[in-house]
Structure 1
Amino acid sequence: MTISFEGKIAIVTGAGNGLGKSHALALAKRGAKVVVNDLGGARDGSGQSSAASEEVVNEIVAAGGDAFSHGANVADFEQVQDMVKQTMEKWGRVDILINNAGILRDKSFAKMSLDDFKLVMDVHLMGSVNCTKAVWDIMREQNYGRIVMTTSSSGMYGNFGQSNYGAAKMAVLGLMNTLVLEGAKNDIRINALAPTAGTRMTEDLMPENIAEMLAPEYVTPGLLTLCDDEAPNRTILSAGAGGYATASIFETDGIFLTPDQQTPEAIRANWSDATKQDKQQALASGVKQSEKFLAKAMAAMKGA
């Protein structure tokens, strides 16, 4: 099986450098027409320049591909709408959206300003919301769409000094989980990539030899598996240094307590049973949790 993007139209945000650039080049190499989006700011989000995104476009065109650049700030919905409008005018559809744009403003929570917290949330979370919203009706009308969120181990597991980044990266998974349900009937599949890569976002956080092992090009093959015709749905794929693994959120089977037993003391007393992992499962939607607890209650009532 060969994964091809021939004839597909893809928007890749934050594609002027690092992971986004790698993703854009790989999609184009396999046939996609690509919108190379990048505000061109510094790692902390300051500044603006089209130079990096134009270089990526030139590289794609030189290799025989088709691309154009757009400098939309993903945190600004009007700018995102203009990017999508230009894409539709040029190519008539949007098949793939890669929500990759991001910034860092790392500090411990005690020292972090609320402005820095909000800005990181705006770019990572609202940037993903804005771009997804701008293409959502297009994908619904054409009954086809592939969207990839970019999450992080910092969100799923925590990382010192990254409360803003971690909160945003976990939030995009909540966005994904609901959109998967809403987009299913129109063949809109949403997945998430959790990359470990040596980019300018992490250039001062790891030694050079380690950064080389974590090249963005080692992550991108994973990205390509999340947005083709046969892509999975609601999958979190972790990728880095040639390693690929999936991550899931599991819930234990839990316990049932009768109304007279429903006290914090009783829950604590039954803690080992409540946290047993032998029957844990990944729930398909939030309502499945309610169904599970109601089933336990009804079974207890029948047995009483």
Structure 2
Amino acid sequence: MNASADADSDPASDPAPDSDASPQHAPAPVTIAPDTNTLTLNPGDTFDETITVTVPKNPGSNGIDQLKLVPSASIAPLVASVTPAGGYGPLPGDMEHVLKFAVRFHGVACKDSDQVFTGTLDVVADGRVVAAKKVTITIPACRSETMRYSVKFVCGTQPEACGCSPVRPGRYATQISIHNYGQEAVTVRKRFIPVVLAGAPVAREPRFGTSRAEDGIDLPPHTATMDDCCRIGELLFGAPVDALTIGLLEIVATHDVAVTAIYTTCTGLDVVQVDGRPG
């Protein structure tokens, strides 16, 4: 009995394993490259990308009838196209498949603040998501195209005076040019704010000056206009005057323009390029 038991438990007497049998391994995953996107797109911008989906060999499977690249609902408005739209298929399982998709992203309308869209581009095989690419797209806040400029003007004569005067005695002139160098028409609005009016310092602190005249013009592309002391006098007084007038010309333009001021005295001339600010 003991001998028989020993014989039964002898490993040498156990059946040899089937050489054809092997542990079952899960199929290698489908991959997508690149696997992330972080984009910033202004309205009207486009971004084209080639995305590679790799389907590994999976012997013994039935393969895939159809494989598509599908944007999630959250980013779908920013995906202009996926090519091929119908995807690929059928894809036999006994071979590897390297599939190329051309994707075009595009910017949507801006708003007062930044918009951030997050979602995925999903690899969908026979109705099931088998891989995904993370996508984050930022649409920056709308940029104001309106530009503002503040330009000093000094016009007329400051006579000799015993008391305090805003400028030294002399004769002063200012010419301010506005150049629309762009391809679109520009609407220009102007406010004239005197601080010295016909020799009187009307805005010496603690007082302040306010707009005393307004004007405007529509400038077609590649045109220019100017305001000089004659025009400023007409707007403030109804006619040019020789009395000293100092102030600020506030310019608001629907697009960027080139603003240049020329200041002339009895002894010299200065040319100043005036920078604008959005808003």
Greater strand fraction, Structure 1 or Structure 2: 2
Q: TM-score, normalised by structure 2?
A: 0.22
Report the TM-score, using the length of structure 1 for normalisation.
0.21
Highest RCO, 1 vs 2 (Cα 8 Å, sep ≥ 6): 2
Larger Rg: 2
